[in-house]
Amino acid sequence: MQKALHIKGIPEVSRPLHNLVKKDTPWRWDTREQEAFKGLKEAITNTLVLCHANPTKPYFLETDTSSTALGSILSQCQEDGCLHPLGFLLESFKGAKQNYNTHNKELLAIIHSFEYWQIFLEGTLHPITMFTNHRNLEYWKESRTFNRCHTQWHLLLAGYNFQIVYCPGKQSGKPDALSC
Question: Domain count of the chain?
Answer: 2
Residues 41 and 72 in one domain: no
Contact 63, 90 (CB under 8 A): no
Residues 34 and 107 in one domain: no
Residues 70 and 153 in one domain: yes
Residues 173 and 132 in one domain: yes
Establish if 51 belongs to a structural domain: no
pLDDT tens digits for range 163-180: 999 888 654 555 544 543
Residues 17 and 74 in one domain: no
Residues 148 and 64 in one domain: yes
Report strand pairing: 83-92 vs 60-65.
unpaired
pLDDT for the residue numbered 177: 46
The answer to whether the Cα torsion of 128, 133, 134, 138 is positive or negative is: positive
Angle, nearest 10°, between helix axes 31-45 and 10-20? 140
- For residues 30-45, average pLDDT: 88
Establish if 31 belongs to a structural domain: yes
Establish if 54 belongs to a structural domain: no
Give 44-103 as a 3 state SS string: HHCCCCCCCCCCCCCCEEEEEECCCEEEEEEEEECCCCCEEEEEEEEEECCHHHHHCCHH
By mean pLDDT, which of 44-48, 72-76, 81-85, 132-136 is the weakest? 44-48
Contact 90, 9 (CB under 8 A): yes
pLDDT for the residue numbered 127: 96
SS3 state of residue 137: helix
Establish if 53 belongs to a structural domain: no
Chain mean pLDDT for the chain: 83
CATH code of the domain in which 89 resides? 3.30.420.10
pLDDT tens digits for range 49-91: 788 999 999 999 999 999 899 999 999 998 888 888 999 999 9
Residues 101 and 19 in one domain: no
Structural domain that includes position 24: 2-45
Residues 32 and 76 in one domain: no
